[in-house]
Amino acid sequence: MRTSYSALDTYRTCPLKYKYQNLDKIPAPKRIEAVFGSLVHSALKFMFERGPLYPTLDEVIDFFTDRWNKKSESIEWPNPDKKEVSEKLYFEEGVKIIKNFYKKNQPWKFNAVELESRFSVILRDDETDEEHTIVGIIDRIDKDPENDEYEIIDYKTGKKMPSADMLNDNLQLSLYHMALRDRWPGVPASKIKLSLYFLKHNEKITAEKENPEEDIGKTKNFILATIKEIKEKEEKNAFSPSPSALCDYCGYKKICPMWSHEYKKDKPETKSEKEIAETITEFFDIKESEEKNKKRLKELREDILAFMETGNVSRVFGSRGFITKNAQERFSFDMEKVKEVLLPEKKWEDILSPDEKKLSKLISFLPDKLKNKILSFRVRKEFIVLKQTKK
C-alpha cells in the first residue's frame, strides 16, 4: 500500500472523507483555508531560496501577491455574497504573516539545507510480510553547522497551538523524524530536533522526545496498525463519517450522509421529510419533559422525606396511594485487605473481572511485541447512537 501522512491524518479525522478522497478519487472544491495555507507555504519556500541572494521582504510579498491573484479565482468561498470582503481579509492576513515571519526569521541567519523535501519510507509488516510505502513533504530542514544538529520545521497556518503532551505525540513530526533517519542513517536520533512553527502566532514550538529511538518504533507500529485498519474497512466497504467541528471546512459536505440533507432545500419537501421534522420536534419535547419531570420528582421526594422526618412516620397517604419509607443497608469491601487474605489462598483471581478501560490504559506501557499481540485480540463492535442537539 502506498499512502502519505496527509491521507492517514484524513482517515483518523474522518474515515468517510478518506474514502471519498483517496479511494473514490472524488475531486473536492478548493477551500480557502487549504489554498491560503498552500500559498503562504510557497512564499516561505521562496523566501529561503538563495539565487544567489536571498529575496527581500518586498520580493516575498510580491511573490505571494502574484500567486494569490492567480489562485483566488478558483476558490470556493463559504459565502459568495461576501467574497470580496473575505478575499481582502485573507490576503491581508497572508501579508501580515509574511512580514512578521520575515522580521523574526531573516533567511540569511539560518542554514536551510532542504525546502519542501519529498521523502519515501518503506515499512515492512512482519505479521503479513507486506511492504508499505509512506510518502510526504517536509517544509524545511535546517542544519546547525556548529554541532551538526538538524531541525525539521513544519509550518502551520491554523490558530490552535497544541499542548506539550500533544506535541510530543504528534504523528506528523514522528513520521518526519523516521523519514530523516531513513534517508541519513548516520545521523543520531539525538541530533534531530522536531518543531512546528505556528505562523499566525509567529511562534515555534519544539517537541521534547525523551527516547527518540523508541518513538520511531511506536510510530512505525501505529502506522502499520492504521494501514491494517484501513484495509479491513476497504474489504467491508465500511467507512463511516466522523462529524466534528472540521466538517465546516470539508469539501465533501454536500455528499456526506451527515450533512447532505441540508443541501436539498431547493427540492420540494416530501411527506416523509415533513413527518420526520415533526418527529424530531416531538422527540425534543419529550426529552425536555423528561428533564423537567426528573427535576420535579427530586423536589417532591425531598418534601416527602422532610414531612416523614418531622412527623416521625414511615408511611404517608394520598388520594392515589401511599408511600413507605424503608431503611436498607449496603456493604462495600476494603479490597486491599481482602486481597491480603485471598492472595495466599490463590483465590484472588476468582473474584477479578476483565476491565477494558484499565486494559486500554495499560496497553501503551507494554512492550511492542506484547502490545501487538493483545491488539490482535480486539473485536470490533458497531452500534447506532442517536444524539440530540438543541438549536
What is the model's pLDDT at position 92?
93
**What is the tally of structural domains in the chain?**
1
Kindly report the CATH number assigned to the domain that includes residue 185: 3.90.320
Does some domain include residue 331?
no
Measured between alpha carbons, how far is 94 from 56 in angstroms, rounded to an integer? 16
Looking at residue 386, its pLDDT comes to: 46
User: Which residues, 6 or more positions from 215, have their beta carbon under 8 angstroms from its beta carbon?
Assistant: 174, 177, 209
In a domain, 238, yes or no: yes
Placement of cell 474515515 in the chain = 15
Q: Is residue 384 in a domain?
A: no
CA 58 to chain centre: 37
Residue 207 within any structural domain of the chain? yes
In which band, very low, low, confident or very high, does the pLDDT at 139 lie, cut at 50, 70 and 90? very high
pLDDT surpassing 60 at residue 261: yes
- Mean pLDDT comparison of 31-35, 291-295, 309-313, 385-389, highest-scoring range: 291-295
- The residue-averaged pLDDT of 5-12 equals 89
> Which range marks the domain in which residue 225 is found?
2-249
What single letter denotes the amino acid at residue 353? Answer: S
What are 173-191's pLDDT values in tens digits? 888 888 888 888 888 888 8
Listed in sequence order, the residues at least 6 apart from 119 whose beta carbon sits closer than 8 Å to its beta carbon are 135, 136, 137, 138, 176, 179, 180, 182, 183
Backbone phi, then psi, for 142, in 5-degree steps? -105, 155
- Report the predicted TM-score, pTM, of the whole model to 2 decimal places: 0.66
Say if 81 falls within a structural domain: yes
d(CA 280, CA 7): 36
Residue type, 227: I
> How far apart are alpha carbons 197 and 161 in whole angstroms?
10
- The SS3 call for residue 138 is strand
- Split at pLDDT 50, 70, 90, the class of 268 is low
Average pLDDT, the chain: 82
Q: Residue 381 domain-assigned?
A: no
| R_g over Cα of the chain | 29
- Tens digits of per-residue pLDDT, 321-346? 888 888 776 666 677 776 777 777 77
pLDDT reported for residue 267: 52
Grid cell 515571519 — which residue? 101
State pLDDT tens for residues 150-163.
999 999 988 888 77
Query: What pLDDT is recorded for position 366?
Result: 66
* Residue 47 located in a structural domain: yes
Residue 226 lies in a domain: yes
Cell of 44: 516561505
Tell me how far apart the alpha carbons of residues 40 and 92 are, in angstroms, rounded to a whole number. 12
43 pLDDT more than 90:
yes
For range 288-315, the mean pLDDT = 88
